[in-house]
Amino acid sequence: MVLFCSRPGRFCKQKRSPCSCAAYPVLFWIMEIISPRGIQGHLAMVLHAHLPFTRCPEYEHCLEETWLYEAITESYIPLLTTFEDLLNDGVDFRITVSLSPTLLAMLNDSLLRARYAAYLDRLIDLSADEIVRTRADIHLSPLSLMYHSLLLKVRHLYNDVYRRDLGAAFNALAASGRVELITSTATHAYLPALLSEPASVRAQLVTGTDYFTAVFGSRPQGLWLPECGFAPEIDRQLRDAGVSFFFLESHGLLNPVPSGEKSIYAPARTPSGAVAFARDVDSSRQVWSSAGGYPGDFDYRDFYRDIGFDLEFDRLREYLPHGVRTFTGLKYYKITGATNLKQPYLPQKAAAKAEAHADDFLKKKEAQAAALRRIMKVRPCITAAYDAELFGHWWFEGPQWLRAFLTRASSDSAMVKLITPSAYIAENPGIETVMPSMSSWGEKGYSATWIDSSNDWIYRHITHASRLMADLASQHRNASGLLRRALNQASRELLLSQSSDWAFMMKTGHSAEFARNRFIEHTENFLGLSRGIADGEVRPELLHRLEDKNSLFPDIDFRVFGRGTG
């Protein structure tokens, strides 16, 4: 118990005795709140790495391919080194990393590997020129030296350490037991939009998990549902694809059938047997939001102030072979505030902020877990899920923050325990069974981003093509030779047309023309192949060209689209 003085704002320092102040004290006896001790809950941290398939072999330089190159340089390699450093330091961390099949296909592609190496060489040359240009500027010169050093390190890691095989580097981390690798659907299709053709849902799930298995030598236990899009009709398909757990948006478990007792902080088993982990909105807001979250701190590096837009184009021309201004990753200013008068970036100050924010996030998660533990029968499980590209690419200090947080959260004094979904399931055999409700992340939480007046026109074409593919797969189950190759390539083109990225870009307006053209191209490729298959006149030159351009999923089996399969 504690004693309070009758004078407002005065707290008696002497416990269990009257206050020594004048006047007649009024004593209020209250129950002392004892700070919780020990593990209060679990924290499942998940990073989802995905990019649309943007391989363009027909062009010497393709602007959209740079999305991959930027992510490798600024996110994937920094994340790999972060996890490797933690491992070498003996930190007993746990984290889940989702690698989408289209991303894996591009990381494994020999053409894109060579093009990335050339891109990196150009960027290093540009950073060397920047050292000369900024040598008289006491603020910018240290930054140009920093970027040059970072890029040289990335090149050494990519070429000499990882041998251009980032998938193998992630697999080595998985072998340590600290990192759990999972995947997504084949081309990141928004599954609720495909429900009218269940064969397409199955093809997305099976092709994606099969490709992951081919790359890593083991089947993925978990699946990142693209855009966290779930509908009850998908549940059985998840079971048939061998999925043990998946992630969905929070309101998917807030409105289950029957009504759950434990909230979104207790993963639930679906009727098919897969376990659903609901994304924690608070964890997302604290880390992801550029306004109220950590990345918006004024001392962090400003993403948009890039020399690709700041310098005269003639100075950049030889380093930008696409002929247009674009991001280079060389950025010299901090966010500063809501002003165009940006101040020079100070890496040491930003690093200190990353450490402080890691402390703050751990305290928030411990407090959240303790509060939940008081009202739950079991320890809560907080699922903190983010796009992997947030760390390093969008939020330059993100990998520093992540390393600091994982180190602190892995200490014996931490009141939350880092855990992977597989480990959580193994430790909690009594998970309740409910059917989550239809849900997605994004605007309004119910498909509004991916089915909208800006993009809804694509779905009649997807539905028509999906039905046609199901017919062809059912009619030609025993196909061989040229016909089998054509059916497999038609499957690739259909899967690529189903990517949720196209609808997303049309909705946001970012690269919308590219998205429309890409969707139309894959749809026309599919229709051209399907006509040849139906007429018994497959054109070898068309087939060869498409196999060369859209070469992902080399072991694809068109029969996965057949009706009644699985």
The whole-number average pLDDT for the span 335-356 is: 98
Q: Which residue has the tokens 């009218």?
A: 196
CA distances, 340 to each of 229, 248, 302, 337, 470 (Å): 38, 38, 11, 8, 55
Query: What residues contact 109, with CB distance under 8 A and at least 6 apart?
Result: 55, 551, 552
- Mean pLDDT value of segment 315-338: 95
Residue-wise pLDDT for 388-402, tens only, equals 999 999 999 999 999
Token pair for residue 7? 């004078």
Cβ-Cβ contacts under 8 Å for 530 (sequence gap 6 or more)? 465, 468, 469, 472, 490
- Tens digit of each residue's pLDDT (9 = 90 or more) over 265-285: 999 999 999 999 999 999 999
Tens-place pLDDT, residues 3-12: 223 333 322 3
Check if the beta carbon of residue 275 is closer than 8 Å to that of residue 239.
Answer: no
Cis ω for the linkage preceding 258 (within 30 of 0): yes
Stretch(es) of the chain classified as CATH 3.20.110.10: 41-104+182-301+355-444
Give the residues across from 386 on adjacent strands: 47
In whole angstroms, how far apart are CA 36 and each of 31, 264, 418? Answer: 15, 22, 18
Query: In sequence order, what are the beta bridge partners of 43?
Result: 382, 418
| CATH 3.90.100.10 is right for the domain spanning 41-104+182-301+355-444 | no
CA distance 219 to 229: 22
- Pairing outcome for strands 268-269 and 275-278: antiparallel
Give the pLDDT of residue 259.
82
Q: Output the pLDDT for position 9.
A: 34
- pLDDT score recorded for residue 491: 99
Contact 410, 418 (CB under 8 A): yes
pLDDT band, residue 552 (cuts 50/70/90): very high
Q: What pLDDT is recorded for position 565?
A: 59
Query: 253 and 228 in contact (C-beta within 8 Å)?
Result: no
What are the Cα distances from residue 31, in Å, to 1, 34, 185?
A: 6, 9, 52
* pLDDT value for 377: 87
Q: Which long-range contacts (CB under 8 A, 24 or more apart) does 477-483 make?
A: 477/559, 477/562, 479/558, 482/538, 482/540, 482/543, 483/533, 483/538
Strand partners, 257: 435
The mean pLDDT of 475-483, rounded to a whole number, is 97
Which residues of the chain are in CATH 1.20.1430.10 domains?
A: 452-561
CA end-to-end distance (rounded Å), the chain? 64
| pLDDT at residue 6, rounded to an integer | 31
- Are 373 and 380 a contacting pair, CB within 8 Å? yes
Residues 169, 170, 174, 179, CA torsion sign: positive
pLDDT beyond 80 at 288: yes
Q: How far apart are CA 238 and CA 510, in angstroms?
A: 32
Nearest one of 106, 206, 247, 191 to 451, comparing CA atoms: 191
How is 11-34 classified by DSSP, letter by letter?
A: B-SSTTS---SSS----------P
The predicted pLDDT at position 260 comes to 67
What's 73's DSSP letter? I
Q: What is the pLDDT of residue 493?
A: 99
Q: Where do runs of H (alpha helix) occur along 241-346? A: 251-254, 281-288, 307-310, 313-316
Beta strands in 215-300 (DSSP E): 222-224, 245-248, 268-269, 275-278
Q: Residue type at 147?
A: Y
**pLDDT (tens digit per residue) in 205-228:** 999 999 999 999 999 999 999 999
Biggest CA pair distance of the chain:
103
pLDDT at 36: 60
How far apart CA 553 and CA 106 sit, in angstroms, is 11
Distance of CA 455 to the CA centre of its chain: 23
Predicted local distance difference test score (pLDDT) of residue 13: 31
Give dist(CA 401, CA 378) in Å, integer.
29
Flag whether the pTM goes above 0.85: yes
| Average pLDDT score, the chain | 93
What is the SS3 assignment for 116? helix
Which amino acid type is present at position 366? Answer: E
Q: What are the tens digits of pLDDT across the range 18-73?
A: 333 333 333 222 323 444 679 999 999 999 999 999 999 999 999 999 999 999 99
CA–CA dist 262, 430 (Å, integer): 12
pLDDT tens-digit profile of 129-169? 999 999 999 999 999 999 999 999 999 999 999 999 999 99
Predicted confidence (pLDDT) per residue in 488-525, tens digit: 999 999 999 999 999 999 999 999 999 999 999 999 99
C-beta separation of 439 from 494 below 8 A:
no
Place of tokens 């941290």: 45
pLDDT at 116 over 50: yes
> Which residue's entry shows tokens 């409910």?
434
484: nearest Cα among 557, 409, 408, 410: 557
List, in sequence order, every residue forming a beta bridge with 269; answer none if it has no partner.
Answer: 275, 433
State the pLDDT confidence band at 263, using cuts at 50, 70 and 90. confident
How far apart are alpha carbons 326 and 348 in whole angstroms? 27
AA letter at 565 = T
Range 452-561 has CATH code 3.90.950.10: no
Environment class of 100 (CB within 10 Å of its CB; exposed 0-12, middle 13-18, buried 19+):
buried
Q: In sequence order, what are the residues at sequence separation of 6 or more whose Cβ sits closer than 8 angstroms to the Cβ of residue 282?
A: 364, 368
Tell me, what's the pLDDT at 29? Answer: 29
